[in-house]
Amino acid sequence: NYHISLEKSYYSVPYQLVNKKVEVWFSNKIVDIYYEGKKVATHPKSSKKGKYFTLSEHMASAHKKYLEWNPGRILNWAKTIGDSTVKLLDTIMKSKPHPELGFKACMGILNLYKKHLELETWDENRLDAISSKSLQSRKYRVDDIKQLLKNSKQDEELTSKILEHKFVRGSNYYN
């Protein structure tokens, strides 16, 4: 993360300065950040705790793509899967001090679902059911979703094998 913490608010520095020592000067209105005597950032000082101030020029190019996203756009994409997926992604964004901090997880889940839809390994209803399971178990990480998908696939394969077994009698046998 390329933010410094000052009085429980967060201010960006150029991403190249991650893990570097910076000097911070601040007043009631302004936060100035210096690296090796050179000013690298100026931000308005927050009057509220927990706020993030991020300048786009401080972001790595891989992170800049998230600038074009917002909660509404993410939730609209989630609607194409189903209501549980909307609720899951909304829960993820609301669990963060800033919704943008949940974008990476939300995009990871949506891209995972997109991959399964393109490969036709799952349909929207089944993916939405996975979102529902995720909500019930309160497991919201992309790796948790992958595990739920894997477990669901294994359950399906086991059920299929049981039903195909040649010694299983149909309901007509018992009439």
From 21, 39, 59, give the residue that closes a domain.
Answer: 59
Whether residues 18 and 82 share a domain: the answer is no
Whether residues 42 and 81 share a domain: the answer is no
**Residue 80 included in any domain:** yes
Place of tokens 């509404």: 72
Above pLDDT 70, what percent of the chain? 86
Q: Residue 100: what pLDDT?
A: 81
**Residue 173 included in any domain:** no
Three-state secondary-structure class, residue 75: helix
CB 41 within 8 A of CB 47: no
As a whole number, mean pLDDT of residues 126-152 equals: 90
Which tokens sit at 157?
């394969």
Model confidence at 174: pLDDT above 70: no
Overall number of domains in the chain: 2
Give this prediction's pTM.
Answer: 0.60
Three-state secondary-structure class, residue 162: helix
Three-state secondary-structure class, residue 4: strand
Which tokens sit at 29?
């209105």
Compute the half-sphere exposure of residue 167: CA atoms within 13 Å on the CB side of its CA.
Answer: 0
